[in-house]
Amino acid sequence: MEKYMLPLVLALALGYLITPGVRVLAIKVGALDHPDPRKVHSGVMPRMGGLAVYLAFVPAVLLLRYMLPESSLPVWGLLAGASVMLLVGVLDDIRGLSPRVKLLGQILAALTVIQFGIQIHYVTNPLTGQLLYLGYLSIPLTVFWVVAVANAINLIDGLDGLAGGVSCIAALTMAAVAWTLGTSGLPEVIMLALILAAAVIGFLKHNFHPATIFLGDSGSLFLGFTLAVMSIMGLTKSATAVSVIIPLVILGVPLLDTFFAVIRRYNKHRPIFQPDREHLHHQLMAMGLSHRQTVLVIYAISGFLGLTAIVLNLVSGDQALIMLVVLAILLIYLANRVGVLGVSHRWGRGITDEHRR
């Protein structure tokens, strides 16, 4: 087992050592994040940090591939699709892509992994436990899932270390859930998830508040893509009744923040894709939490959801259903109180016109 520590150590070391060089490169190529009324930071910051995470992740995965040669096809698919998604993010960090071009690039990345056999072939009915084979719906559902998770991670990337930390917690949770499943082929998924977490931890030394480099779209899209694909490779393969729910719980913070943003903007008659300053991290800071405290609170929420996902995989179907109902009620209540649903009844003052300036 000691030899499997090598990819993890490599990813951690590369994530830490490569990031300063990527920071210099980002400044040279003009991958800079300028402040605006929606953003928390007040100065120009280099972004494109996702390149550092990618350069830490890929060599470690190739080393793992050497150790597990029998499972090469899915790994190559993951790396190919991740490379496409990273390229989309890097171009957006440097030049700025239109939403349409950006979406097309994300779809291309999702279609790339499908060519290697990575797709959602079936889901499990959480009420009956029966397998529902998707047939022709398999490809569009796979593309939707990958693009949705990638953009959800992108949307929460609003504070130093936030998207990276949440992604790291999600990766560790995926590894734990895959380990509890104990199905053949999952050791690969466990290692991939741990390697991703190690690469992010190395990068977070430079990205946690006060950050010297941002993830950028290259990082948030790469992380979201990789998490989505790993969940398809491992967690959706289970025939347990809650298998379709577990990835949603693991990625609950970014997915729910995105979902609540859609509801909030619809209720306020705003364009669905119009950015605002009412995401979870904005509202927590408006309640008086500092930058670092806000990030740590969201880490704690992600950790709680991660532990919940692990427990859901271990209990009976009826117990899991009860837990999910209680969890849903709790999350909606807290979302309403914090203000991410856009209603007036919430703790603190929320985001006022004074906070927007």
Per residue of the chain (357 residues), give pLDDT as tens.
Answer: 677 899 999 999 999 999 999 999 999 999 998 776 566 656 789 999 999 999 999 999 999 888 776 656 788 999 999 999 999 999 999 998 998 999 999 999 999 999 998 998 887 766 666 778 888 899 999 999 999 999 999 989 889 999 999 999 999 999 998 888 765 556 788 999 999 999 999 999 999 988 999 999 999 999 999 999 999 987 765 555 566 788 899 998 999 888 888 888 777 777 766 676 778 887 888 888 888 999 999 999 999 999 999 998 888 777 888 998 999 999 888 888 887 776 544 444 444 333 332
Label the pairing between strands 45-46 and 32-33.
antiparallel
DSSP 211: P
CB neighbour list of residue 14: distance below 8 Å, 6 or more residues apart: 55, 56, 59, 60, 199, 202
**Nearest of 73, 61, 70 to residue 4 by alpha carbon:** 61
Task: Please tell me the predicted confidence (pLDDT) of residue 42.
Answer: 62
Tracing tokens 């998830």 back to the chain, one arrives at 193
For residue 122, list its beta bridge partners. 133
Task: Please tell me the predicted confidence (pLDDT) of residue 16.
Answer: 97
Upstream peptide bond of 247 is cis (omega within 30 degrees of 0): no
CA 131 from centre of chain: 27
Task: Please tell me the predicted confidence (pLDDT) of residue 185.
Answer: 53
What is the rounded radius of gyration, in angstroms, for the C-alpha atoms of the chain? 20
Measured in degrees and rounded to the nearest 5, phi and psi for residue 352 equal -100, 175
Q: What length is written for the chain?
A: 357
Task: Please tell me the predicted confidence (pLDDT) of residue 4.
Answer: 81
**Nearest of 279, 244, 284, 243 to residue 259 by alpha carbon:** 279
3-state DSSP assignment of residue 233: helix
* Cβ-based burial of 214 (10 A; exposed 0-12, middle 13-18, buried ≥19): buried
Q: Cα(78)–Cα(58) distance, rounded to whole angstroms?
A: 10
3-state DSSP assignment of residue 339: coil
Q: Cα(154)–Cα(219) distance, rounded to whole angstroms?
A: 8
223 near 155, Cβ under 8 Å? no
Task: Please tell me the predicted confidence (pLDDT) of residue 357.
Answer: 28
CB neighbour list of residue 170: distance below 8 Å, 6 or more residues apart: 227, 250, 251, 302, 306
Task: Please tell me the predicted confidence (pLDDT) of residue 43.
Answer: 72
CA 39 from centre of chain: 20
Q: Cα(189)–Cα(171) distance, rounded to whole angstroms?
A: 10
315 near 307, Cβ under 8 Å? no
The pTM for the full model equals 0.88
* Cβ-based burial of 338 (10 A; exposed 0-12, middle 13-18, buried ≥19): buried
**Nearest of 335, 327, 286 to residue 305 by alpha carbon:** 327
Measured in degrees and rounded to the nearest 5, phi and psi for residue 22 equal -65, -35
For the CA atoms of 15, 16, 21, 23, the dihedral, rounded to the nearest 10 degrees, stands at 90
Which whole-number Å values give the CA distances from 101 to 88, 92, 104, in the listed order?
Answer: 9, 10, 5
Angle between helices 216-233 and 162-181 (to 10 degrees): 10
Q: Cα(338)–Cα(287) distance, rounded to whole angstroms?
A: 8
The two three-digit tokens of residue 179, written as one number: 């380990």
Task: Please tell me the predicted confidence (pLDDT) of residue 38.
Answer: 60
